[in-house]
Structure 1
Amino acid sequence: MNLHALKLFLAVTKAGSVTQASQALCISQPAVTAQIKKFEKDLGVRLFKQKGRGIALTDVGEGLAEQARRLFALEEQMEDWISDYKQAKKGKLRIAATYLPANFLMPEWVAAFKTENKDAELVVTTTNSSEAFKQLIGYKADLAVYGGGLEDRPEDVDWEVLFEDELWFVVARAHRFANKELTLAEMMTEPFVMREKGSTTRERLFALCKTFNVRDPQIALQFNGLHEAIRAVMTGYGALFISSLVARDYVQSGHLARVKVQGPQLMNKFVICTRKDETPSPLTAAFVKKIRKASS
């Protein structure tokens, strides 16, 4: 079906006459009449009938006009949706975030973005670093937000560092190491409470010990969640290697105490990750712009 002719037909039905339709469309009356006749011929049905000095729709014309109104209303909706998508007002954004940004940064970022983009759908998955990269590279996520080191950076991922923070050794406030200054070897005599394998902080502690030729940390307790690990250390057992972003409030409140380890100072980098050589969607670009501003 010729959609241009269908639009012309609908314009005539709305105007009530060929003359008024031709004036509204800035097309000559003979041209409108010729196109309507051709449209009827192509369809094999009469759409208009004479009614006094004017015209009226036939039964099939009435039915076609109703269907045409629905079709072009849907077309307008589609155009509006595309416009909203381009302005980052519509669409779905899937974010894979590692534990630190997911728990300590993403809630504020997502809430602020949703305030300005109410109809955008955001789905945040909290996972470890290897799975976050796997989801991004495998097109199961549009964006990854990562907190850790840059040692295992995948080649097919673009990185943008937002900011960085220190990694601290912490213990309970009554622990014998609380507020002391030790060597890394002395620190490794204490059992550690850690998250599961795949945790960036855990892997970085092992790498640190290897770099300085110090015995590996003894993992005495393992939890899948960081808060559980913190609670265990707060009871007085073991030590924790943790981002200052997480530990700072606990240290300031006196629930945990720092142990200053001589020499090594590791930093956590908080990074936006996207697929290399790929133009992000408008929604992804708008969210990245928002968190850049929040991190500056």
Structure 2
Amino acid sequence: MELYQLRTFLTIAEEGNLTRAAEKLFTSQPAVSAQVKQLEEELGVKLFERSARGMALTREGLLLQEKARRIVEAARDFKHSAEHLRDTVSGELVIGLNNRPEVLKIVEVLGALTAAHPELSYGLVNGSSGTILEGIDDGSISIGFFEGTCEHPRIEWHALEAVELCIAAPAVWARELASPDWKLLETKPWIFVSRACSYFRAIESICADQGLRLQQRFRVDECLTVLNMVAEGLGLTLAAVSHIESPEFRGRVVALPHFRTTVNLCVGYLRENADRPAIAAAREVILGLWEKEPESLNPPAWERALRTPRPKGRSHR
């Protein structure tokens, strides 16, 4: 029996759906299904009832759920305790990425960390902002980038910069959609992102404000592939202005004049893990690259005590 099998069991139990569990675990649905099957075979009990509505725990599964949770949490606490005993920053740092590497400066982040802490290893996982936050909250992600706001009470976070959003359209539709006619946009197909993405909430806000019923032709869990679909004339979407203006999409995708808004690009981690050496090192590198004060909405006492003078960056407040 492996710890990752127990994590998969717990995630499916919480989500009640293989697809959502796979997204949260940053793996494929077949892999999740195989892990459950292996665990059931090893235990000799059926853990889930499968139906068209999803996955429901059996009586045996319900009895084992809390025991599995205690095992996973004990293993995590054991690992964290060991990290505090080491004189060097080592172990594995799992970083959640919600955007393109160049936007998140991930090469610079990893370069600085590997130079300063050669014994530290890394896991990089990609997902929507909501999925990244869930991963931080459940402990599967050490530190992660996300956009929008964070409503998870256990997560400490810092806003890094504002990201401007707009409605993105195929360049061949530019003349037709040059005037801000919202009703005309209802006649066009739309590409929606995962409900866990901050862009989805922005689209919902547009619909509520303008009284629109947009035609969702596509739903894409991977946000970074959406603009390629727009460029090919498959529909409209909400996107970062900086992405539209990148060389890859210049002349292929245009920003419509109908709508502009901003969301914050942020980095977050569990508040209870804030003083772990690996997370503290990553936080300092990331905030330093964005020239930020190590300050959040609710800075803990340890961080205020350790804070040293540095040039002030733009506030996230």
TM-score w.r.t. the length of structure 2 is 0.57
How far off is 1:273 after superposition? 1.2
1:248 aligned onto 2:245: yes
- In the other structure, the counterpart of 1:84 is 88
Give, as a single letter, the amino acid of the residue that structure 1 aligns with 2:168. V
Alignment partner of 1:271 out of 266, 274, 277: 266
Q: Which residue identity does 1:286 align to in structure 2? A: A
Deviation at 1:143, TM superposition (A): 1.5
| Counterparts of residues 281-292 of structure 1 (less than 5 Å) | 281-292=276-287
CA distance in 2, matches of 1:279, 1:205: 33
SS in 1 for 2:96: strand
- Code of the residue aligned with 1:95 in structure 2: it is I
The separation in 1 between residues aligned to 2:125 and 2:197, in whole angstroms, is 15
SS at match of 2:245: helix
Q: 1:236 to 1:283 in 2, by over 3 A?
A: same
Indicate if the aligned counterparts of 2:168 and 2:253 stay in contact, CA closer than 8 A.
yes
User: Is 2:110 the partner of 1:107?
Assistant: no
Question: 1:92, 1:121 within 8 Å by CA — same for their partners in 2?
Answer: yes
Question: Do the aligned partners of residues 177 and 275 (structure 1) sit closer, same or farther apart at CA in structure 2, a change above 3 Å counting?
Answer: farther
Q: Distance in 2 between matches of 1:200 and 1:284?
A: 24
1:265 alignment partner, SS class:
strand
How far apart are the structure 2 equivalents of 1:279 and 1:199? Answer: 25
Spell out, residue by residue over 1:98-145, the C-alpha distance to the aligned partner (whole angstroms, 9 max, x if none). Answer: 2x2667415322244324333211212112233322222222222221
Instruction: Give the conservation status (yes or no) of the 8 Å contact 2:273–2:279.
Output: no
Deviations 1:180-205, CA, capped at 9 Å, x for gaps: 24144443432112333423212321
Matched residue, 2:125: 125
SS at match of 2:260: coil
Matches of 2:249 and 2:230, distance apart in 1: 16
Deviations 1:147-167 (A, max 9, x none): 2x22x6222222210111100
Q: Which runs of 5+ in 2 are unaligned?
A: 1-81, 292-317
Q: Does the 8 A contact of 1:179 with 1:257 survive in 2?
A: no
| Distance of aligned partners of 1:113 and 1:193 in 2 relative to their CA distance in 1, 3 Å threshold | same
Pairwise mapping of residues 48-63 of structure 1 onto structure 2 (< 5 A)? none
1:158–1:276 CA contact under 8 A, matched in 2:
yes
Match of 1:294 among 289, 298, 301: 289
Do residues 236 (structure 1) and 233 (structure 2) align? yes
Check 1:292–1:232 CA distance in 2 against 1; reply closer, same or farther (3 A cut): same
Match status 1:153 vs 2:151: yes
- Seen in structure 2, the aligned counterparts of structure 1 residues 115 and 253 have a Cα distance that, compared at 3 Å, is farther
Structure 1 residue 250: Cα displacement: 4.7
Q: Is 2:128 the partner of 1:142? A: no
CA distance in 2, matches of 1:250, 1:216: 32
Q: Which runs of 5+ in 1 are unaligned?
A: 1-77
One-letter amino acid of the counterpart of residue 82, structure 1: R
When the two chains are superposed, the root-mean-square deviation of aligned CA atoms in Å is 2.8
1:221 lines up with 2:225 in the alignment? no
Contact map agreement 1:178 1:258 (CA 8 A) in 2: no
Tell me the distance in 1 between the aligned counterparts of 2:248 and 2:125.
29
Q: Tell me: CA distance 1:131–1:227, structure 2 relative to 1, closer, same or farther (3 Å).
A: closer
Could you tell me how far apart the structure 2 residues matched to 1:179 and 1:124 are? 39
What is the distance in 1 between the residues matched to 2:256 and 2:133? 32
Superposed displacement of residue 218, structure 1: 1.4
Amino acid across the alignment from 1:276: R
1:36-47 aligned within 5 A: none
Cross-structure match for 2:194: 196
Residue in structure 1 matched with residue 204 of structure 2 by the alignment: 206
Secondary structure, counterpart of 2:246 in structure 1: helix
- How many residue pairs match? The answer is 207
Mapped to 2, the partners of 1:202 and 1:216 lie a distance apart of: 14
Percent of aligned pairs with the same amino acid: 11
